[in-house]
Structure 1
């Protein structure tokens, strides 16, 4: 990579990718031009890939989220969730399962009623994608030191795909181990912009909608 800080401007809806980035207003643009910015170093996801025979297929890194989802035509999938080597959820049934950072908490995670966090939140979130009612699923927040393993089940009947930050991983991945990476992404914000306030307003709005 270029090892340079990144600054972005968000023009989409409140749940879209990049939701927490700088709004493209004249005032904020003027601050950016005059170099009135602050840099936030955001931890990435480290994602170890394995096939169905436990063969290591390499390591990938993600900024927002990674998730297993039923392949096109199969939809429904099954997965086991393991935290620090202990089975936490033996069989999750649904459309998929994800792990995300705070940066990814406003995307797929939010659309599945997961917690929305500010960018200075360094822990990880595990959430299901459209879980079945009988699973009684609840999203879980993991400490930054923990490792979560997502293991797909019954893939001979229902194929699954792995996606990282919206990109399809064209490998026969059936299990991933996800932890906080030592790598970070440097995000720039204009100094007067308060992304924490934006998140709190969104949380309040979601509470009113329920």
Structure 2
């Protein structure tokens, strides 16, 4: 029996053109009925697709019609069914973010790559860091800080000089962004199930925003982050080009 495939594409013209070509060749089914969901776009669209389909049983296979495409496979119109049959699966657990803003409102979001706090004004942020209820840093003066999963460790975390984490490792990266005090502090490796809390000091004078996979919360006063093992994202890669290989290759390019 042929695979039932659902196609999703970003708004980019090249992705829409690819979707039309694939629909003509392989047909299309509604996502709840699909065996596999094929996402056409870049990494941002892949994250969006994983979030929007997390309640569905089908895994997601991406084909790059964007820029970098770290989470995507190479695009080709031919042989798609055979590629899907042979694909290797990786399971990702996202981070859960709970943030409180200056008006006392609570915001919740999930992040597959990272949760980041970034200064939202001309002055550096001042953050107090608590891990599992224990105060670990009284004051970090910085442009921001983030907590990244292994899957997200080569994204913003890597650009901020954070470590690349092997897929399957039970650790998270806590990385500072342009730390001023302590000047040479780059961050820490934490157990996967650690609960990290950031409290924003002088939040009126030094406003901070929080982001969870591009969902932004402005004027936050506190943010709590931890892994969410109850949520699993299933993502497919061509054999020999899975996340583990990509993470290793990224460190030698």
| Fold in common (TM above 0.5) | yes
Aligned to 2:166: 118
Alpha-carbon separation, structure 2, partners of 1:133 and 1:90:
11
- Runs of 4+ off more than 3 Å: 9-13, 23-31
- Give secondary structure in 1 for the equivalent of 2:231: strand
Do structure 1's residue 39 and structure 2's residue 89 form an aligned pair?
yes
For structure 1, the 5+ residue unaligned runs are: 206-210
Change in Cα spacing, 1:12 to 1:117, as seen in structure 2 (3 Å) is: farther
Question: CA distance change for structure 1 residues 92 and 28 in 2, over 3 Å: closer, same or farther?
Answer: farther
- SS of aligned partner of 2:154: coil
The higher relative CO (CA closer than 8 Å, separation ≥ 6) is in: 1
Kept in 2: contact 1:80–1:152 (CA 8 A): yes
Residue equivalent to 2:72: 21
1:134 Cα offset (Å): 4.0
Shift of 1:61: 1.1
Q: Hey, what does 1:105 align to over in structure 2?
A: 153
RMSD, matched Cα: 2.5
Show the counterpart of 1:50: 100
Report how many aligned residue pairs link the two structures. 197
Structure 2 unmatched ranges of 5 or more: 1-51
Structure-2-length-normalised TM-score: 0.68
TM-score (norm 1): 0.81
Q: 1:176 aligns with which of 206, 223, 230?
A: 223
Match of 1:87 in 2: 135
